[in-house]
Chains A and B, each alone.
With several copies, the nearest count.
Chain A
Amino acid sequence: MDKSTATVISCKEIAESIWDLRLRMAETFSGEIRPGQFVGLYPGSAARLLMRPISICGYSGGGETPVQLRLVFRAGGAGTRELAGAQAGDAMDVLGPLGNGYDLDRLAPGRVLLLGGGIGIPPLLGLTRALTERGAQVTAALGYRNGDLFLKEDFEAAGARVLIATEDGSAGVRGNVLDAVRAAQAEADVLCACGPLPMLRAIKAYAAGRPCWLSLEERMACGVGACLGCVVRTRDIDAHSRVHNARVCTEGPVFAAEDVEI
């Protein structure tokens, strides 16, 4: 892990306010990269000093060839809107890779149900690839606001069976990801979910004892476990903090659903 300066390969809007950023990382961007990990992107403005945590959607290279990252994010606030303005060739400061990522050995092979809502969808793409490579049977239930189904084809190309839910019913099942899962009667040995908190809560309940991994979001300052800004309440006393709080940036962002009180 390091803070290093990457080079922007491209940055394109792939759906309304959803941007697909490709970066060529500096050589010092090192360490194993695992699906579920994230990076911190620093907006250039001197008014905005904290990094924006963005999950790794895809990656390639490593070893001899430079690492390339694919990051898909919503330009919502001022910082991400600034990042969305990146042009090919621009320099961008990146901290990472950060966080624990998914423990693939505990997921594959087997029937894995991935559930992604909105901007929670991108992190599951890298996971899909890694899982299908390891022979897992992946169903990806993707929940969108409307028919603007960003990344859907990427999930199919990565070998997942894709279920779609849209809030406005313009594609797939009208409703949320669980409605799509129920409609398809999709079965699974293990669940992995990423998305808004109410969705994660519903999925935790739905998992009903099956192994279920949740990728959480929290406001971050350092991204490396030092500031204790980004904690989530835990069921048990956390080994590091010695209180009922785990750091999302370090112990997470991926947690076993039963371990966290969300």
Chain B
Amino acid sequence: MNEQNQRPDMSVTIAGVTFKNPVMTASGTFGSGMEYGQFVDLNRLGAVVTKGVASVPWEGNPTPRVAEVYGGMLNAIGLQNPGIDVFIERDLAFLEGYDTKVIVNVCGHTEEEYLEVVERLAGEHRVDMLEINVSCPNVKQGAIAFGTDPATLCRITERVKRVAGQPVIMKLTPNVTDIAEMARAAEAGGADAISLINTLTGMKIDVETRRFVLANRTGGLSGPAIKPVAVRMVWQASQAVKIPVIGMGGIASAEDAVEFMLAGASAVAVGAMNFHDPCLTERVVDGMEAYLVRHGIPSAAELTGAVRG
């Protein structure tokens, strides 16, 4: 058949933005792309999603900030970042050189801080979308409340949308009773898309020293260990809303990425497993294309929600 000899169409479109393929980087696991540029050709990725950036530089948490756990890791970086000015001057300028979409992940201690960053980015042509991290478990002053209360989530979404110059993705935390309700709240607030999952809150205690392994005591769990929870939530969220869903949580292979697409994601992000295999993002792109060819599926977009009863 002629169609099967053609290369599948890997592109996907989310909120009017067309990505050359559905494979993105998960915020905070890929810097601004710079550090992984030596391992993968950034031009081959659907998007680079940057580390969360705030209005001013943040120190983050004391160390130890990371811990290994069975099939994954805990992190309590505490959103260290150089602040929006340096980010624009340096990181955004670096990404200027690449033919990939740029999604900037935004964090803040207060709603005003979020809005400040979003406003500053409004005129930046190099920014294709914004991802609002309302779900970081390591920020104590309020951010966790944004992510777990539907009314607050809806309100901050509305406020962000009012000042945003780019389409807005609300990034949801999995540490909630009802993810569908949170997805609907983001949609009601006008979000153009949602992404999930952020990390599950976890803890590790060293039984020899009888101390918390992380200085912050709790940290965010990520990696293959969380994939079944993430797939379930992506499925529930995508059933609950009409806006597109970007799925992530433990992706370690092209097959994992396909699983998220089948569950309802329009695109996917590779996170902690970049640390295990720094070339993973590119391998996922290649593997997903090979999957489409093997199954005679003409386009990646057709995978979205294609799981059968």
Which A residues lie within 8 Å of B82 (CB)? Answer: 240-243
Q: Does B59 contact A (CB under 8 A)?
A: yes
Q: Does A229 contact B (CB under 8 A)?
A: yes
Which of A47-55, A165-173, A204-212 contacts its partner?
A47-55
Determine if B72 and A49 form an interchain contact, defined as CB atoms under 8 angstroms apart.
yes
Question: For residue B65, which residue of chain A has the nearest CB?
Answer: A229
A50-B73 CB under 8 A given contacts A95-B278, A228-B80, A231-B80:
yes
Determine if B35 and A226 form an interchain contact, defined as CB atoms under 8 angstroms apart.
yes
Chain B, residues 188-202, CB within 8 Å of chain A (1/0): the string is 000000000000000
- B42-64 interface with A by 8 A CB criterion: 51, 57-60, 63-64
Determine if A227 and B39 form an interchain contact, defined as CB atoms under 8 angstroms apart.
no
Determine if B60 and A231 form an interchain contact, defined as CB atoms under 8 angstroms apart.
yes
A219-B63 CB under 8 A given contacts A2-B39, A50-B276, A224-B36:
yes
- A57-98 interface with B by 8 A CB criterion: 79, 95
Which B residues lie within 8 Å of A49 (CB)? Answer: 68, 71-73, 223-224, 272-273, 275-276
A226-B31 CB under 8 A given contacts A3-B279, A221-B272, A231-B80:
yes
Q: Does A151 contact B (CB under 8 A)?
A: no
Which of B63, B224, B274: most chain A CB closer than 10 A?
Answer: B63
Interchain CB contact (< 8 A) of A47 among B38, B224, B273: B224
Determine if B30 and A226 form an interchain contact, defined as CB atoms under 8 angstroms apart.
yes
Q: Does A117 contact B (CB under 8 A)?
A: no
Determine if A241 and B80 form an interchain contact, defined as CB atoms under 8 angstroms apart.
yes
Q: Does A15 contact B (CB under 8 A)?
A: no
Q: Does A136 contact B (CB under 8 A)?
A: no
Interchain CB contact (< 8 A) of B58 among A47, A222, A226, A243: A243
Determine if A231 and B273 form an interchain contact, defined as CB atoms under 8 angstroms apart.
no
Chain B, residues 66-81, CB within 8 Å of chain A (1/0): the string is 1110111101010010
Which of B70, B273, B278: most chain A CB closer than 10 A?
Answer: B278
A49: min CB distance to chain B, Å: 5
A219-B67 CB under 8 A given contacts A227-B275, A228-B51, A243-B60:
yes
Interchain CB contact (< 8 A) of B60 among A47, A79, A245: A245
Interchain CB contact (< 8 A) of B57 among A42, A48, A95, A243: A243
Chain A, residues 222-244, CB within 8 Å of chain B (1/0): the string is 11111111111000000011111
Which B residues lie within 8 Å of A256 (CB)? Answer: none
Which B residues lie within 8 Å of A47 (CB)? Answer: 70-71, 224
Q: Does A220 contact B (CB under 8 A)?
A: yes
Q: Does A183 contact B (CB under 8 A)?
A: no
Cα distance A104–B71 in the bound complex, in angstroms: 40
A226-B277 CB under 8 A given contacts A218-B63, A220-B66:
no
Q: Does B11 contact A (CB under 8 A)?
A: no
Which of A48, A95, A230, A242: most chain B CB closer than 10 A?
Answer: A242
A123: min CB distance to chain B, Å: 20
Cα distance A47–B223 in the bound complex, in angstroms: 11
Q: Does A157 contact B (CB under 8 A)?
A: no
Cα distance A225–B275 in the bound complex, in angstroms: 11
Q: Does B152 contact A (CB under 8 A)?
A: no
Which B residues lie within 8 Å of A222 (CB)? Answer: 29, 35, 274-275, 278
Q: Does B15 contact A (CB under 8 A)?
A: no
Cα distance A220–B67 in the bound complex, in angstroms: 8
Q: Does B83 contact A (CB under 8 A)?
A: yes
Cα distance A222–B34 in the bound complex, in angstroms: 13
Question: For residue B74, which residue of chain A has the nearest CB?
Answer: A221
Q: Does B28 contact A (CB under 8 A)?
A: yes
Determine if A225 and B66 form an interchain contact, defined as CB atoms under 8 angstroms apart.
no
Determine if A3 and B272 form an interchain contact, defined as CB atoms under 8 angstroms apart.
no
Cα distance A48–B73 in the bound complex, in angstroms: 9
Q: Does B205 contact A (CB under 8 A)?
A: no
Which B residues lie within 8 Å of A1 (CB)? Answer: 38
Cα distance A220–B278 in the bound complex, in angstroms: 14
Which A residues lie within 8 Å of B80 (CB)? Answer: 228, 231, 241, 243, 245
Q: Does B86 contact A (CB under 8 A)?
A: yes
Q: Does A202 contact B (CB under 8 A)?
A: no
Determine if B276 and A224 form an interchain contact, defined as CB atoms under 8 angstroms apart.
no
Which B residues lie within 8 Å of A227 (CB)? Answer: 28-29, 31, 66, 75, 77, 275
Chain B, residues 277-296, CB within 8 Å of chain A (1/0): the string is 11100000000000000000
Interchain CB contact (< 8 A) of B277 among A3, A225, A250: A3
Further pairs besides A218-B64, A227-B28: 14, Cβ < 8 Å: A47-B71, A48-B68, A49-B224, A50-B276, A221-B275, A222-B275, A224-B36, A224-B278, A225-B31, A225-B35, A232-B63, A240-B82, A243-B58, A243-B80
Between A and B, 16 residue pairs with Cβ closer than 8 Å are: A47-B70, A49-B223, A49-B275, A49-B276, A50-B68, A218-B63, A219-B63, A221-B272, A226-B51, A228-B60, A228-B65, A229-B65, A229-B75, A231-B60, A242-B57, A250-B35
